[in-house]
Amino acid sequence: MTIKKNWKFLYSGMTVLADLLCAWSAVHLSWWLWFDLISFSPVHRPSEHPLKMMVVVVFGTALILGGGYRGIFKKSIDDQWVEIYKTALYSLLITAAWVFATKGYNYSRGFIIAYFLILPAILSLVRLAFYRVRIHLMKSGWGVKNALIIGNSQTARDIIDQLAIHHAFGYKIVGILTENSRDLNFAYRGIKAIGLSQECDRVARQYDVSQVFIPDLSGELTDYNFLIASCRRLNVEVRVVSHQADLLARVAGIYDMAGISLLERRSRPLATLYAVLKRASDILVSGVGLVACSPLFAVIAAVIRLDSPGPVFFKQERVKKGGKPFQLYKFRTMFQGSDGIKDQMSGQNELEGPIFKTRQDPRITRTGRWLRRLSLDELPQLINVFKGEMSLVGPRPPLPSEVEHYQEWHKYRLNGPQGMTGLWQVSGRSELSFEEMVLLDIYYLEYSSPLMDLEILIKTIPAVISARGAY
């Protein structure tokens, strides 16, 4: 590992160290300004070390938890400044709340305000210096990674343009991979087509590629699964242009490259550990949930029986991870036998794509409407979770008839365990288009973590209570 080629780790470490020195300098400067230069009353001087420690820890913790160091090498100086001042404001509010809650302790409000004004100013200057050094070194070839572009669309050309202008991104486009052989003579800004997208594995090895850009997830790319798998085998990062920037910014966050919104797909070295933790939590939560909800199950079963003739539970074939079929359990919300007339109602579908949804569905019973509105009809899927056929969090399992109409890139959502709730359930539910749903499912499969699962479960509660997009 040469320093010149892998200096990003060193740069990130130096940034953290510089921030610590800035915090140390700011706390001592603020103390001197407030107590030795402005305030003339030594009687009311608080204990020095606890107060200094508190303000430093609050700001540092807020900066880390707020993502201040996440992807710092990719951020513009403007983005870094915004994060610093936002963190300072939040830290000041947190500290003010703490001071108010502990009135018995002798805090200095003047010192605290001075610190949260001085520290951002010092940090901004230091980060600017670091940023300019970074740009200079990158122009000299430090930390620059070889990259490939998939396709020759206008978006692909825009990416090439931006990378040529903005050296701070640190990428050198070594070639273009086309979707068909007739475009192998294509060239743009001196960058030539050097192979087909199906040859990504070979080309990435040959040119020591660290990054692949996909200009359009749902465009001409015919085998997104194959491309992602090839890149993962080689530990190559993948970025996909997102045309749903506003949507993803609400729920997941995106990487902006000079106005081009990108989703980042990275290798996941802890995927096995995450899978074990996910399954263990599924068994625990579903087991406890089934026991705790048993009285509610009995009440719902009685109401369903009183409302309309037929069984309490409804079993339906769905598709799980790997495209395998399984029987999904729900409380029955329709009149018995009415599922067979769906083909006659195809003209009433209110969603684009293979998923069928309509607000005024005559097949639904009176009890079924409020069960669906509160998503209580989904509770029996805890049985599927306990059996290992589903997970608490993940893409919703589709019908086999829906999978038959999938485009190739849609099938990527079947690469992980299907769940009771997911990203699109907390992002508008049935109000989203099918393309948006799939995009969110793919994002989840690439970025899923225990923390994200917990966040989705927490957000599911208000989404269910508000019944937003449910019908």
Rounded Cα distance between 200 and 1, Å, is: 24
Sequence-distant (6+) residues with CB within 8 A of 329 are 313, 314, 315, 380, 381, 383, 384
Instruction: Place 388 in a pLDDT band, splitting at 50, 70 and 90.
Output: very high
Q: What are phi and psi of 147, to 5 degrees?
A: -140, 155
C-alpha angle 406-408-414 in degrees, rounded to nearest 5: 70
Q: In this predicted structure, what is the pLDDT of residue 249?
A: 44
Is it the case that residue 221 has pLDDT exceeding 70? Answer: no
Rounded Cα distance between 370 and 385, Å, is: 23
Rounded Cα distance between 319 and 296, Å, is: 28
DSSP-derived 3-state class of residue 213:
strand
DSSP-derived 3-state class of residue 179:
coil
- By the 10 Å C-beta count (0-12 exposed, 13-18 middle, 19+ buried), 281 is classed as middle
Is it the case that residue 116 has pLDDT exceeding 90? Answer: no
Residue 60 corresponds to which tokens in the numbers above?
A: 């540092």
CB 202 within 8 A of CB 195: yes
CB 225 within 8 A of CB 415: yes
DSSP-derived 3-state class of residue 391:
strand
Instruction: Place 340 in a pLDDT band, splitting at 50, 70 and 90.
Output: low
Q: In this predicted structure, what is the pLDDT of residue 117?
A: 86
Is it the case that residue 112 has pLDDT exceeding 70? Answer: yes
Q: From the CA atom positions of the chain, what is the Rg in Å?
A: 27
Per-range mean pLDDT, top range of 61-75, 315-329, 351-365, 400-414: 315-329
CB 59 within 8 A of CB 23: yes
Rounded Cα distance between 84 and 124, Å, is: 7
Rounded Cα distance between 115 and 124, Å, is: 14
Rounded Cα distance between 112 and 88, Å, is: 11
Its pTM stands at: 0.56
Mean pLDDT of 90-116: 72
Is it the case that residue 460 has pLDDT exceeding 50? Answer: yes
Which of the two residues, 6 and 286, has the higher pLDDT score?
Answer: 286
Residue 153 corresponds to which tokens in the numbers above?
A: 């669309």
- Give CA 177 to chain center in angstroms: 27
| Residue/partner pairs of 103-111 with CB below 8 Å, 24 or more apart | 105/46, 106/44, 106/46, 106/47, 107/46, 107/51, 108/34, 108/35, 108/39, 108/44, 108/45, 108/46, 108/51, 110/34, 110/38, 110/39, 111/30, 111/31, 111/34, 111/35, 111/46, 111/51
Which of the two residues, 68 and 335, has the higher pLDDT score?
Answer: 335
Q: Minimal CA–CA distance to 442: which of 394, 402, 399?
A: 394
CB 425 within 8 A of CB 458: no
Torsion sign across C-alpha atoms 256, 257, 259, 265: negative
Using CA atoms, how far residue 79 sits from 76, 122, 175, in Å, is: 5, 16, 30
Q: What are phi and psi of 241, to 5 degrees?
A: -65, 130
Strands (E), 336-446: 391-393, 419-421
Q: Minimal CA–CA distance to 24: which of 1, 47, 46, 57?
A: 57
Query: Which of 2-11, 180-189, 456-465 is least confident?
Result: 2-11
Instruction: Place 247 in a pLDDT band, splitting at 50, 70 and 90.
Output: very low
Is it the case that residue 4 has pLDDT exceeding 90? Answer: no
Number of helices (H), then strands (E), in the chain: 15, 12
Rounded Cα distance between 395 and 228, Å, is: 18
Rounded Cα distance between 172 and 138, Å, is: 11
Query: pLDDT tens for residues 62-74?
Result: 777 666 776 677 6
Q: What is the set of domains in the chain, with CATH numbers?
A: 8-139 (no CATH), 145-265 (3.40.50.720), 271-466 (no CATH)
Q: In this predicted structure, what is the pLDDT of residue 278?
A: 93
Using CA atoms, how far residue 245 sits from 152, 238, 449, in Å, is: 22, 17, 21
CB 251 within 8 A of CB 240: no
Residue 306 corresponds to which tokens in the numbers above?
A: 């009183």
H/E stretch holding 261? strand 260-265
Residue 470 corresponds to which tokens in the numbers above?
A: 């449910």
Query: pLDDT tens for residues 407-438?
Result: 877 888 898 999 999 888 787 555 667 877 88
Is it the case that residue 176 has pLDDT exceeding 70? Answer: yes
Which of the two residues, 205 and 104, has the higher pLDDT score?
Answer: 205
Residue 269 corresponds to which tokens in the numbers above?
A: 């070295």
Query: Which of 143-147, 331-335, 403-407 is least confident?
Result: 143-147
